[in-house]
């Protein structure tokens, strides 16, 4: 029996809305015969990103597409990796003769380092190697000083006090995602001017070892030769990468609560909703409650298609993605991510705005 080479694994990390899912979809669309398994982990009670990947059937039947997307349950990978990551990886390792590559998308608030360290565990180390950690950066958000498109008033406050930078859990998380990177993608490069992009590149390079490449992209469109086959063996040198979260231990040696536990992710189910009323209401809630991310889908009265909504800060993208199936309820389902969010208050405000 021939010895199998180690299966390469690419970990894609980056903030909420930076374009990780778009990058993954581009990679799958251009797989050129590579047999790729995908593990999607979403910070939220619904695997909406997984849902998006499943329907984009990446050139195969729906049954095959469902079989290729492994969704982990809620929570960031650094908290749930031991409970949830192993069974999925064990299954993929058992099938590694059928696979050429594994892609793992971390949640927007997950720290990549503990996930990379999991590849040091014998059961995984003998079968897999981390080909690279790719960190996707939302270039316009970094240019605005917000990293994850914080609402304008928070950004104005931050600019008045330069000392806030490193006290912000968002800035620490941003730095930690860069600290673990083998390749950094400055995404959405087409949305800012050359001067803004140069500043983003300089800021990002301050946080990086000199050997780490930084490349620009629009909508995650990069040749696969640039993204795969880096051979970084990240698990071998990850312990030497210093991050803000390395020393969070209490006296018993247990981990303290992670900084990003301060982020809430709430899921709301609402009735059918007028598109304009819903987007206006979400815009107001983003400004008032500092919501970082809104995502989900809406049932619009009289429309046979489902309306997919993705918002980062005050920027919203929407499109009708697929017809409603006859066996599913026409409801509106949203996940809102932010700090100190009150689900009951947000649901009441949305229902009031929609007249529901």
Would you state the pLDDT for residue 69?
A: 66
Residue-wise pLDDT for 226-284, tens only, equals 999 999 999 998 888 888 777 543 333 344 444 444 567 788 999 999 999 999 999 99
Gap between the Cα atoms of 141 and 138, Å rounded: 5
pTM for the structure as a whole: 0.72
Buried/exposed 73-101: b ≥16 CB within 10 Å, e otherwise:
ebbbbbbbbeebbeebbeebbeebeebeb
The domains of the chain, with CATH numbers, are: 7-245 (3.40.50.300), 263-354 (3.30.1220.10)
* Residues lower than pLDDT 50 in the chain: 1-2, 43, 45-46, 58-59, 74-82, 149-151, 153-155, 158, 162-167, 248-261
Copy the structure tokens of residue 17.
Answer: 């809305």
CB atoms within 10 A of CB 117: 17
Tokens of 126: 């003998």
Per-residue H/E/C for 16-34: CCCCHHHHHHHHHHCCCCC
Looking at residue 49, its pLDDT comes to: 63
Q: What's 247's DSSP letter?
A: T
């Amino acid at each position: 029996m021939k010895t199998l080479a180690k299966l390469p694994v690419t970990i894609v990390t980056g903030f909420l809305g930076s374009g990780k899912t778009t990058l993954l979809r581009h990679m799958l669309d251009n797989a050129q015969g590579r047999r790729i398994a995908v593990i999607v982990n979403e910070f939220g009670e619904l695997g909406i990103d997984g849902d998006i990947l499943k329907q984009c059937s990446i050139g195969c039947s729906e049954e095959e597409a469902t079989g290729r997307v492994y969704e982990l349950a809620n929570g960031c990978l650094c908290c749930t990796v031991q409970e949830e990551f192993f069974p999925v990886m064990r299954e993929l390792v058992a099938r590694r003769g059928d696979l050429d590559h594994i892609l793992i998308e971390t949640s927007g608030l997950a720290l990549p380092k503990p996930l990379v360290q999991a590849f040091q565990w014998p059961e995984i180390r003998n079968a897999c190697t981390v080909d690279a950690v790719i960190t996707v950066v939302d270039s316009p958000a970094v240019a605005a000083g917000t990293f994850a498109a914080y609402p304008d008033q928070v950004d104005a406050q931050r600019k008045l006090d330069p000392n806030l930078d490193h006290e912000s859990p968002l800035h620490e998380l941003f730095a930690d995602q860069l600290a673990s990177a083998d390749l950094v993608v400055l995404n959405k490069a087409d949305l800012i001017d050359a001067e803004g992009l140069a500043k983003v590149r300089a800021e990002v390079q301050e946080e990086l070892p000199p050997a780490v490449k930084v490349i620009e992209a629009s909508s995650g469109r990069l040749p696969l030769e640039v993204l795969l086959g880096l051979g970084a063996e990240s698990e071998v040198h990850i312990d030497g990468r210093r991050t803000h979260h390395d020393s969070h231990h209490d006296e018993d040696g247990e981990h303290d609560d992670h900084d990003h536990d301060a982020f809430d992710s709430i899921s709301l189910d609402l009735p059918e909703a007028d598109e304009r009323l819903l987007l206006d209401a979400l815009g107001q809630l983003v400004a008032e409650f500092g919501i970082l991310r809104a995502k989900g889908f809406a049932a619009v009265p009289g429309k046979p298609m489902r309306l997919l909504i993705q918002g980062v800060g005050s920027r919203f993208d929407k499109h009708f993605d697929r017809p409603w199936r006859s066996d599913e309820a026409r409801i509106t389902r949203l996940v809102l991510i932010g700090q100190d969010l009150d689900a009951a208050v947000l649901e009441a405000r949305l229902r009031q705005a929609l007249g529901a």
